[in-house]
A and B are shown apart, each in its own frame.
Chain A
Amino acid sequence: MSNRISAKDVLLGGIGTLAVLVPWEIAARSGIVDPSIFPSPILAISSAAEKLSATEVLDHMGWSLFRVFSGFLLGALAGITIGIVAGWYRTAGYLLRPMIELLRPIPPLAWIPLAIIWFGLGEPSKFFLIFLGAFFPVVTATYQGVTNVDPILIRAAQTFGLKGIDLLVRIVIPGAAPDLATGIRIGWGLSFGVLVAAELIAADKGLGYMIMHARLLGYVDVIVVGIVLIGILNLLTDGMIAWLIKKGIGRWHEV
């Protein structure tokens, strides 16, 4: 059993990526496809660089990251708290779960019209949408984790005299940590997706705004660079979260 990545696996990944990029580049340069609609990857970066300064791009990135971090953080914290309470206290579970189950399947984007009516076009509405993106996956995973803790661990802890809140803090929460970690990763991905959508609709900063604005100006190259940046940013931050999770629980739990 090994999940080490071999050099061969990396090579295969490289071949797969180039198999898409190289024909695209050739097709764009040779005129098979119209470069004003399908700009080549290399040309897109160089011509986008002429239209946008690095500081502008960084400013958009910074705004996007700030929004997603703050919304996600609050959504995840609320999700963890409510998930624990609903999973541990039977009465609270009966009280809270129907409402959560009812709202959970609604895609966060369906909330956009309401978010705009309630919070206007400014930051709070985006914050609210990102919050929802994080909240539901995290609350569901936390609830699952708390209710799925092996009862034998709870009984074992009871033989050492643990009860009540001590059982919750010392046994149930650590026991739920792997499920919680999964919920956090899913929540982050969803928050990120919601972020871009929220910025597409109404914003004057952020990567979502940047690509939407580029569409109005007909800058296809900026759009290409923008969506690639969104992808890279999501990949990097998700990788960071995965790394933190592995550092936190990787030694005792197969991640």
Chain B
Amino acid sequence: MSTDAGFIELNDINMRFGLPAEALPVVLQGIDLSIAQNEFVSIVGRSGCGKTTLLNIVAGLVEATTGTVTIAGNQVRGPGQGQGVVFQQHALFPWLTAMGNVEFGCRKADISKSEKREVCRQLLDLVGLSHAADKYPRELSGGMQQRVAIARALALDPEILLMDEPFGALDELTRIELQQELLRVWDARKKTVIFVTHSITEALILSDRVILLSPHPGRVFKDYQITLPRPRIRTDPAFNAMYQEIWEGLSA
């Protein structure tokens, strides 16, 4: 891996569903991205710009029509290559407890059952849910479910965390809480994060970098470095100026 290449490299990703002859709309066109290790990158765009598809391609869940994704120099050929994924909602296994879900994520074969349990307990602790270890998903609030989902993804000990509008279905207050929680986890565990959202505020609160996708076809439209100091304050004039700039980009 050359020194100037990113940790995650997307090279000319093109995506269309169906056969070329069917002339279905192109979902993604010519996506080139280079993401550094431990960088927190948000992908923002209108509905239908292909941001979830892009995330699924990096996750190895969907294969791009053409183009490649590499992680630390290795081409992505499927899931389970160090990509932890947090979905929008309802992706916990309902028949497993919070602990069971996290343990599901911990797939190390070389550690004992008690060690595994300890690792998972620490992860539940990290997301503030050690008291709910024995609860089933339906007994947890939406916010708690997403915390479990984050702990489960971390149990894989992934280098990359891919998050697909993970807080989109939560109420405003829970959402703010979980954003702070996520930043704390990111700080504690040092992960490279790709975070899909349609909230500019959320992207600005969280990210080192905000990538704007334009729809039909999905293309990288703008790439903003966010240099505002952390923790970010929503009412800060510099924050608002940045918000305005991205908003104008989005409405262009």
Q: Using a CB–CB distance below 8 Å, which chain A residues touch chain B? A: 150, 152-153, 155-161, 171, 174-175, 177, 249, 251-254
21 A-B residue pairs with Cβ-Cβ distance under 8 Å, sorted by A, are: A152-B87, A152-B90, A153-B91, A155-B61, A156-B85, A158-B61, A159-B79, A160-B80, A160-B105, A161-B79, A161-B80, A171-B93, A174-B95, A177-B95, A252-B94, A252-B95, A252-B136, A252-B137, A253-B94, A253-B95, A253-B138
**Does any Cβ of A come within 8 Å of B156's Cβ?**
yes
Contact status of A159 and B136, CB under 8 A, knowing A152-B90, A252-B94: no
Within the complex, the shortest CB–CB distance from A87 to chain B, in Å, comes to 18
Query: Is B79 in contact with A249, judged by CB distance below 8 angstroms?
Result: no
**Does any Cβ of A come within 8 Å of B239's Cβ?**
no
Query: Is B87 in contact with A155, judged by CB distance below 8 angstroms?
Result: yes
Choice from A159, A174, A253, A254 contacting B83 with Cβ under 8 Å: A159
Q: Using a CB–CB distance below 8 Å, which chain B residues touch chain A? A: 59, 61, 79-80, 83-85, 87, 90-96, 104-105, 107, 136-138, 153, 156
Bound: A160/B80 CA distance, A: 5
**Chain B residues in 8 Å Cβ range of A175:** 93-95
**9 tightest A-B contacts by CB?**
A161-B80, A252-B136, A159-B85, A156-B91, A174-B95, A158-B79, A159-B79, A152-B91, A252-B95
Within the complex, the shortest CB–CB distance from B119 to chain A, in Å, comes to 15
**Chain B residues in 8 Å Cβ range of A150:** 90
Contact status of A159 and B93, CB under 8 A, knowing A152-B87, A252-B138: no
Within the complex, the shortest CB–CB distance from B159 to chain A, in Å, comes to 13
Residue of A nearest to B138 (CB): A252
Bound: A159/B104 CA distance, A: 11
Query: Is B61 in contact with A159, judged by CB distance below 8 angstroms?
Result: yes
Residue of B nearest to A177 (CB): B95
**Chain A residues in 8 Å Cβ range of B93:** 153, 156-157, 171, 174-175
Bound: A57/B92 CA distance, A: 51
**Chain B residues in 8 Å Cβ range of A153:** 91, 93
Q: A159-B156, A160-B80, A174-B93 are in contact. List 20 more A-B contacts (CB 8 A).
A: A152-B87, A152-B90, A155-B61, A155-B87, A155-B91, A156-B91, A158-B61, A158-B80, A159-B79, A159-B80, A159-B84, A160-B79, A160-B104, A161-B79, A175-B93, A175-B95, A249-B95, A252-B96, A252-B136, A254-B138
Give the one of A152, A171, A174, A254 with max B CB within 10 A: A152
Residue of B nearest to A254 (CB): B138
Chain A facing B: main interface SS: helix
**Chain B residues in 8 Å Cβ range of A249:** 95
**Chain A residues in 8 Å Cβ range of B84:** 159
Within the complex, the shortest CB–CB distance from A47 to chain B, in Å, comes to 52
Within the complex, the shortest CB–CB distance from B94 to chain A, in Å, comes to 5
Query: Is A159 in contact with B59, judged by CB distance below 8 angstroms?
Result: yes
Query: Is A156 in contact with B87, judged by CB distance below 8 angstroms?
Result: yes
Bound: A150/B137 CA distance, A: 15
Residue of A nearest to B107 (CB): A160
**Chain A residues in 8 Å Cβ range of B91:** 152-153, 155-156
Give the one of A155, A160, A171 with max B CB within 10 A: A160
**Chain A residues in 8 Å Cβ range of B61:** 155, 158-159
Within the complex, the shortest CB–CB distance from A128 to chain B, in Å, comes to 35
Give the one of A150, A159, A171, A251 with max B CB within 10 A: A159
**Chain B residues in 8 Å Cβ range of A158:** 61, 79-80
Bound: A171/B107 CA distance, A: 15
Bound: A160/B59 CA distance, A: 11
Bound: A251/B83 CA distance, A: 31
Within the complex, the shortest CB–CB distance from A230 to chain B, in Å, comes to 35
Within the complex, the shortest CB–CB distance from A176 to chain B, in Å, comes to 11
**Chain B residues in 8 Å Cβ range of A177:** 95
**Chain A residues in 8 Å Cβ range of B92:** 156
Bound: A161/B156 CA distance, A: 10
Within the complex, the shortest CB–CB distance from B202 to chain A, in Å, comes to 21
Residue of A nearest to B85 (CB): A159
Residue of B nearest to A152 (CB): B91
**Chain A residues in 8 Å Cβ range of B153:** 159
Within the complex, the shortest CB–CB distance from A169 to chain B, in Å, comes to 13
Bound: A157/B91 CA distance, A: 9
Within the complex, the shortest CB–CB distance from B191 to chain A, in Å, comes to 14
Residue of A nearest to B104 (CB): A160
Query: Is A251 in contact with B87, judged by CB distance below 8 angstroms?
Result: no
Residue of B nearest to A171 (CB): B93
**Chain A residues in 8 Å Cβ range of B87:** 152, 155-156
